[in-house]
Structure 1
Amino acid sequence: MTLTPEQSYLSTCPVCQNQIDVTSLEPFTKLKCPFCGQMVRVRRKFDHFMIVRQIGEGGMSRVFEAEDETLGRRVALKILNRQYSRDAARVEQFRQEALITANVNHPNVIKLYSVGYDQGYFYIAMELVNGGSLEQRIRREGTIKEEEALRIGREVAEGLRAAQQLGLIHRDVKPANILFTETGTSKVVDFGLALFVERGPDSSSEIWATPYYVAPEKIIDNREDYRSDIFSLGASIFHALTGRPPHKAESNNIQELRMIKCRRVALEDSGLRFAPRTIHVINRMVAFRPQERCANYDETVEELRLAEGLVGQGYKTRFSGRKLRWLGVAAAALVVAFIVGWMVRSTGDRAAVAITETVDESYEDLNGEGVTLQAGRKTVAERFLEARETMLEKKRFAEARQQFEKLIDSGDARQPTLNWARFNAALCCIVINRKEEAEKHLKKMTEDTGEGSSLVSDEIAGFFKNLGSLMGSNLGLGTALDKLQYDTTQEPLLGYLMQGLAEWHFGDAMLGMSEMEHFSVHLADVKSGPNAAALDWVQGYAAVYAVYQSDIEVARSVQDLATPQDLESCRRALATVKKAREKLRNTGALKLSLTRKEEELKRELVRLRMNEQRQQMAADRIQRERELSQLAEITTVLPSLVQGYDYSRVVELLKDVRFESPEVQSALEGRRYLYEQGQAFLTQLFADIAQSGYQGKLQRVSGSTLEGKVTAADLTQVTVTLDRGVLTVPLDTLAPESLLEAAQFFAEQTTDSSEYYKRQERIAVFARVTGLHNLSATVAAQLMEENRSFRSRWMKVVQ
Structure 2
Amino acid sequence: MQNSPEKVPSISQCPDCQHSLDVSGLPPYMKIECPHCGASIRVCTRMGQYQITQLLGEGGMSQVFKAIDVHLGREVALKVLHQSLSRDSALTAMFEREAKLTASILHPNVVKVYTVGNEDGYFFIAMELVEATSLEQMITTSGALSEKDVLHVAHDVVAGLKAAHHEGLIHRDIKPGNMLVTEEGTSKLVDFGLAVQQGGDDESEDLWATPHYVPPEKLDGEIDTYLGDIYSLGATLHHALTGKPPFEANTPSMEELKQIKTADLNLKAEAPASSKATVKLIERMMAYRPEARPQSYDLLLAEIIDIEKRAFGVDRNKSRSSRTNQRNPWLVAGAFSGLLAVAAVLWFSLKENKSSSKADDFTVGADEGGIISAGAESNAAQFLRGRELLVKGEFRKAFNIFSELTSASSLSPSTQMWSHFFAGTLQLLLGEEADSRAYFADISSIDPAKEEGVGDVVAFLQRASDLLASDLPLMKSTILFEADAIDSVGLLAAGVKNWQMGDFESGIALLEKFAVSQPPEGFVWIDELKSSVEVFRRDHKRLEELPNPARKNGADSLKSDRKSLTAALDEIETRGSLRRLITSRLMRIDEIDALIVDEREAVDDPPAAVVMEQPDPGIPEVVPKAGAVDPFAEQKMSDEELLERERLRQLLSSLESYGANYQFSEAIDKLQAEPLKSWSAQEIRNELVLGFGRAEGFLRMLSAQLRASSYQGVIRRREGIALEAEITSADPSVFVVDLGFGPNEVAVSEFAPDWLVEAAEELLPPFTPATQEAWENVLFFALSTGQNEPVSRISEVIRAGSPEFEERWVKLMVLSAPSP
User: TM-score, with normalisation over the residues of structure 2?
Assistant: 0.37
> Which has more helix, going by share of residues?
1
Bigger radius of gyration = 1
User: TM-score, with normalisation over the residues of structure 1?
Assistant: 0.38
